[in-house]
Amino acid sequence: MKQDNIIIFDTTLRDGEQSPGASMNIEEKLRIATQLERLNVDVMEAGFPIASEGDFEAVKKIAQTVKNCQVAGLSRASNMDIDRAWEALKYAGERGRIHTFIATSDIHMKYKLKMSEQEVLDAAVAAVKRAKSYTPNVEFSPEDATRTRLPFLAQVVQAAIEAGATTVNIPDTVGYTIPTEYAEIIRYLKANVSNIDQAIISVHCHNDLGLAVANSLAAVQAGARQVECTINGIGERAGNCSLEEVVMTLRTRQDILPYATRAVTEQITPASKLLSTITGLLIQPNKAIVGANAFAHEAGIHQHGVLMDKSTYEIMTPESVGLNQNKLVLGKHSGRHAFIDRLKHLGYDLSREEVDKAFTRFKALADMKKEIFDEDLDAIIADEVLRVPETYKLQQMNVSSGSFAAPTATVSMEIEGKNKKTAVIGDGPVDATFKAIKKLTKSKAPLLNFSVGAITGGTDAQGECTVRLQSEDGREVLGQGAHPDIIVASAKAYINALNKIAGNQKRIKADL
């Protein structure tokens, strides 16, 4: 790759999934992988194959499916990890990348690894050689590099390259460094690692101090040529370097950042929305590039300037990141072809059966509200297509509440093929509904979080509800539901979470 090109290494499916509440099943990971391929990332890190059977199968499936970018799998510096990684990645052939790592900072070596410098160095070399026996495409990361003593960091990087690493990643694992310091680390390695020109320098920044993007760009200016990042900046703790922010900064500031990426920027917004829909992690309105307010103007001075010439207050166009300016895209008279075309534009590639389910729900919604927005379509897909197999099904419900009557919910459900019905009084309409569902399903899962939001503006907007429950094995499970009636949306979200718990329990029993 040319020196002025920056490799985009997306780790949404690995590091991003480690964000609390962001775990995805195989089907969901494959949907994200397909959208990342449309976005044209150079490398996608599909998972950590040794971590679980589910992670292994997801990496394997993605390696079998994705054709236009490299697929990476993470492994610790151990033979078992590396062997397992390649077992999943081998289906990608020469596009498969083994990404192996070991910590190199004093604090990690002393307290976590309990290993000496020489032992860490030997393990790094052995790991790279083991990975190299499977594929020429090997990446090595000295974990917690930014808190590692520079002479030792240079020694490990040199040894890894000698052992066969073609990419050396210098991760800011705990989001500790600042731009000037990080750039200096990259320059130090370029000056003190004699074989550094035989490998691509990569950077992987966490956002604990809010500097992940700034640090990554400083490293690029210092000589790094691969940036590891995630959609919406999701990831452990405060998250990772945001893909959309790095890509659009490089595109917007060509005057001082003369670098290019292969990213199809018009696919950024579809990728952002798809990830948010699948994980339930909402995007803050003022989030750069993809937030709801990123291209909104309320101040009179700003509005006047934009009306005269958009460049007065917009440094990039909404269209350049795939944001459709024509908000009203479909209505009750729209046909199936227009519906399918709009879904594809939003990043969804559905089967015929999935289209039928979504189209039926779309027509029903179109009869209820005048304007159908992209956000409504996202909610329909999440509610009708991405739902897990239903152990519990909502049939009918009726809720009465007011200032003179105790809130009462009457709920009818199908539970494993049997119809059940109950009525419960609660502190409010949602509380009564949840108590009724809990009584019918005999669930003991505690409710950790419940949130409500309007998908679009207007009193006829669909309500979108998110419920987070805790299963018996301690896992946090996210449920989502959307409906013009906010109480119905709440019930659907609660039942969606219960179905996920039931599905997990069935898989565990099957494995036993």
Structure token digits, residue 256: 């001082």
Please give the Cα distance from 20 to 235 (Å, whole number). Answer: 8
Instruction: Identify the bridge partners of residue 98 per DSSP, sorted by sequence position.
Output: 73, 138
Averaged pLDDT for residues 45-65: 96
Q: What is the pLDDT of residue 314?
A: 80
260: which strand partners? 5
- What is the reported pLDDT for 326? 45
Q: Quickly count: other Cβ atoms within 10 Å of residue 34's Cβ.
A: 17
Q: What distance separates the 2 farthest-apart alpha carbons in the chain? A: 80
* pLDDT bracket for residue 510 (50, 70, 90): low
Give the per-residue pLDDT at 476: 80
- For 474, left (φ over 0), alpha (ψ -120 to 50), or beta? left
Going from N- to C-terminal start, the domains of the chain cover 7-279, 295-323, 326-386, 392-511
Identity of the residue numbered 96: G
Assigned CATH class of 392-511: alpha beta
Report DSSP letters for 402-438, one per residue: -SSS--EEEEEEEETTEEEEEEEE-SSHHHHHHHHHH
Q: What is the mean pLDDT of residues 63-82?
A: 97
Q: How confident is the model at residue 282 (pLDDT cuts 50, 70, 90)?
A: confident
The predicted model gives 195-224 an average pLDDT of 98
| Termini Cα distance of the chain | 48
Tell me what percent of the residues of the chain surpass a pLDDT of 70: 93
Which residues lie below 8 Å from residue 286, measured CB to CB, with a gap of 6+? 293, 294
Q: How far apart are CA 225 and CA 143, in angstroms?
A: 19
The whole-number pLDDT of residue 81 equals 98
pLDDT digits (tens, 9 = 90+) for 216-250: 999 999 999 999 999 999 999 999 999 999 999 99
Q: What pLDDT sits at residue 328? A: 38
* pLDDT score for 508: 57
In DSSP notation, 60-102 reads HHHHHH--SSEEEEEEESSHHHHHHHHHHHGGGGGGEEEEEEE
Relative orientation angle of helices 336-345 and 352-368, to the nearest 10 degrees: 100
* Cα atoms found within 13 Å of the Cα of residue 165, Cβ hemisphere only: 30
This prediction's pTM: 0.81
302 pLDDT higher than 50: yes
DSSP letters spanning 325-367: S----B-TT--HHHHHHHHHHTT----HHHHHHHHHHHHHHHH
Alpha-carbon gap, residue 97 to 260, rounded angstroms: 22
Whole-angstrom Cα distance, residue 492 to residue 486? 10
Contact 424, 408 (CB under 8 A): yes
Contact between residue 210 and residue 172 where contact means Cβ atoms under 8 Å apart:
no
Q: Is the pLDDT of residue 304 over 70?
A: no
Superfamily of domain 7-279: Aldolase class I (3.20.20.70)
State pLDDT tens for residues 320-330: 998 865 443 56
Closest listed residue to residue 252, CA positions, set 320, 182, 172:
320
Dist. CA 78–CA 123, nearest whole Å: 8
Q: For residue 98, which phi and psi values (nearest 5 degrees)? A: -90, 125
Predicted confidence (pLDDT) per residue in 104-154, tens digit: 999 999 999 999 999 999 999 999 999 999 999 999 999 999 999 999 999
Percent of the chain residues topping a pLDDT of 90: 63
pLDDT (mean) for 434-445? 95
Q: What are phi and psi for residue 255, nearest 5 degrees?
A: -65, -35
Give the mean pLDDT of 8-16.
96
